[in-house]
Structure formats: structure tokens, C-alpha cells
Structure 1
């Protein structure tokens, strides 16, 4: 059996977009949540101080809006990219954003970027839920999704090789100049002689006979 596959060179960076699509979609959702919840949380009595909707502070900008935006960008790269290097960048952005959600609050005082505030809660269980939803649990989930995407994208599977081979084979497949349905117009020479074309032997044969 003849192997009709076209060998691929330089196709190692190509992959199916579905490899990082789910992780990218979840990172977009988590990043949007992390960036917006400090401003809309007070509407649902689920907030850190100051307990005021759409109240901007320097700490919220550095500790929540910035990593949330980075996670959204990383998720978008994972969601739409068919290039392994670009998708890998998006996955690492998700990991970095999640790590900052976890470690940023603890290092805010050292870096001089303000205080994220205290959870507005009457019970310990609600305070824990706020800590997890705003910072630690959210960041840990981002790190997990980003790391899983890094591992998935870094492995070049058989499906990736087949995907690249099929694309290259489709690009190099020759196309016929004419199809079976193309109309071919035959141009007849003008003149009085519409009979069979005489060969050179017939021509010389008649001339010999005439002589």
C-alpha cells in the first residue's frame, strides 16, 4: 500500500483549536468574574470593604482588575489560536494571573499597592466563601486550568500530526485544468476544403502519379 501522506516540515506549531478551547473559555469566565466582582458584589451583599458598588481603589485595580484582565487575554488566546506557541502563551498568562490572585493580597503591603479590604460577613463561613471567591479559590482554579492547558498543548498527539498532514495535503493537491463538464469549442478552419486532412504521403503520392 502506498503512503500518500505529505511529510510536514515546520508544522509542529500547528494544532487544532479545540486543544485549548475549553480551558480558554473557563479562564475568560473566571477572569471576568475576578475583575468585576469587587464592583458588583455589593449589589448581592457579597463584598469586601468598602461595601460600595463600583467603588474604585488602587488595591482593587492591582489585585483584582489587572489579574482578571490578564486571565481574559490568556483565555482568548487559548480559545481562538491554532498556533501552539500562541496558545502556550495564553495558558501561561492564565497561570500567572491565578498565582497573582493567590499571592498578591499577601504581598500588597510590601509592594505598597494598598489594602484589598476585609470581607463584609457576619459569619465565619461567609467570610471564608468571600476569601475563596475573590482571591484564593479563584486563583487556585486559574492556576489549575492554565497548568492543565500547558500540559495538553505541549504534547504533540497523533491527532495533531494527522490534522497538519491533512491541511498540507489539501494545499498541495493539484487541480485539473479542465473538468469533465467544461465546454470545449472546436474552431473549424475556413476554406472550401472541408474533407479529411491529407497526410504527406498522400500528397506526394498524387504528385508522383500526375507526373
Structure 2
């Protein structure tokens, strides 16, 4: 149903342009016509009398507004409303003059200016004839808008097919309050704490040997033969790489008897 309301703007473009021009003519002729002695009395330009406002300017504004709506609207209902406004303005141009004879003399439109021929032309061009032409084009626009053309039906079918094939957007799932929400872009990422570095075995620091006390023989006893008791190292002792220095002491050298 919504697709059927769509109409191309060209559907009422011609009627809209003509109605706008008729509205401009009806409104400006009532105010500028006295310059050329082509108006109703009083023969004075830019004079806003009650008769001119109600019988010429007001219906001219209706034609102008209705024609503009027909030009810019792409909706069938809106364009039809503009055509109805223009039709009412054209009808008022036709019946407004005869009905004004029932009003008071101050609210009526004056007599046409000039001779008999000019008065006839002024009556047709400024009131009844203008209203008839405006009513005709408003009716043409209403007729074109009332008919659903083949192009309108095809356009509605395309829009309906496009609406059905359009992917639906899934709604986001609600997040439970007891669960942490997703990490936002402004929050820093958590840092991972690593273990302290372990020194490889080959780079481990060597342990220093603990010096052990040297056992000395008790007093009154001598070392057994073939052995010499170790003595305490002295600062002047030297060692050669690859060999062990033999200790010398009061107990003799190795291989000697005590």
C-alpha cells in the first residue's frame, strides 16, 4: 500500500507549472494592472481593498500554493491535496464575483475600468476566465493522480521485493550483570607477569670450596714410615700447573724412613 502512494514528480509537473503561473498572474494583475488601466476600481496600483484581497489575492495564493505542492511532492496523497487547493482557488475566482453582490458595498470589488470591450476582457482575464483555466488544470492533475499506472505498479513491486530481501539487523544480546563486559577501546590490556629469568647451569657461579682442618698427630707420636704428615700451607708455597707440590716438613721426604 505504501508503494502505491509513490508517484514520479513528473506526474503533476505540467499542471503544477501552469497553476503557479496562473496564481502569479491573478495576484500581480490586481496590484500592478492599474498602471496600465487594466483592473477593477479603484484604478490605483498597490491598493489593498477588501474586494481585491478576498476576490483576487486570496484565490491567487491558493493557486500558487497548490501548484508548488504538485511540483515538489512525490507522494500521491500530498500531490492530490495540492491539486484540491488549486481547484478551490479556481472555483472561487469563478463564483466569488457574483457572490460579492450580497456583501456590503465597502467589501465588494469595483466595476471594471475602461470601455465595454476592455471590461469584458478584464472580467474574463482577471476573474471568471482565470478561474476556469485554473480549475481545468487542477482537475487534470487530480485525474492523473487518481489512476495507478503500469510504471507505478512496477515501482511498488520493486520496492516490496527490495524490502523483503533486505537483511535484518540482529539486536545485540543483553549482557549479564555478573559477567564482565567486553574490553572497551579505552581500557588498557592486562599485562602478563612472567617468571624471573633462570640462570643457565653453564653460567652458574662456581661454589668456593670450604677449607677443611688439617689433622696433626698427637704429641709423642711420630708419623708411620713411608708417610709424611701434611703441613699447613704457607704463603711462600707455590704450585705448578698440572703437578701437585710435595710438602716438606720436619718429618722428612716421602720414601725416607723417619
> What TM-score, normalized by structure 1, do the two folds share?
0.73
Question: Whose relative contact order is higher, 1 or 2, with alpha carbons under 8 Å and at least 6 apart?
Answer: 1
1:205 equivalent in structure 2: none
Give the drift of 1:164: 3.3
Give the distance between the partners of 1:166 and 1:45, measured in 2 at CA. 57
Aligned counterpart for 2:113 among listed residues 106, 111, 120: 120
Q: Distance in 2 between matches of 1:173 and 1:40?
A: 59
Q: Greater CA radius of gyration, 1 or 2?
A: 2
**Could you say which residue in structure 2 is the equivalent of 1:92?**
84
Partner Cα separation in structure 2 for residue 35 and residue 128 of structure 1:
19
Aligned residue pairs, count: 166
**What's the CA shift for 1:55?**
1.0
State how far apart, in whole Å, the 1-side matches of 2:52 and 2:75 are.
33
For residues 44-55 of structure 1, the aligned pairs below 5 Å read: 44-55=36-47
- Aligned residue in 1 for 2:151: 159
Cα separation, 1, equivalents of 2:164 and 2:21 = 40
1:150 paired residue number: 142
In the alignment, the residues of structure 1 paired with residue 101 and residue 117 of structure 2 have an alpha-carbon distance, to the nearest angstrom, of 26
Q: Specify which of 12, 26, 35 is matched with residue 20 of structure 1.
A: 12
| Residue of structure 2 equivalent to 1:185 | none
- Do the aligned partners of residues 166 and 125 (structure 1) sit closer, same or farther apart at CA in structure 2, a change above 3 Å counting? farther
Determine if contact 2:3/2:155 at 8 Å carries over to the other structure.
no
CA distance in 2, matches of 1:97, 1:169: 41
Q: In the TM superposition, what are the counterparts of 1:93-108 in structure 2 within 5 Å?
A: 93-108=85-100
Any unmatched runs of 5+ in structure 2? 168-258
**Distance in 1 separating the partners of 2:144 and 2:44:** 41
**CA-atom RMSD, angstroms?**
1.9
Larger displacement relative to structure 2 (136-145 or 108-117): 108-117
Report the structure, 1 or 2, having the larger helix content: 1
Structure 1 regions of 5+ residues with no counterpart? 1-8, 176-211
Q: Which residue is 2:254 aligned to?
A: none
2:128 is the alignment partner of 1:136: yes
**1:48 and 1:174, CA in 2 relative to 1: closer, same or farther beyond 3 A?**
same
For 1:71, the equivalent position in structure 2 comes to 63
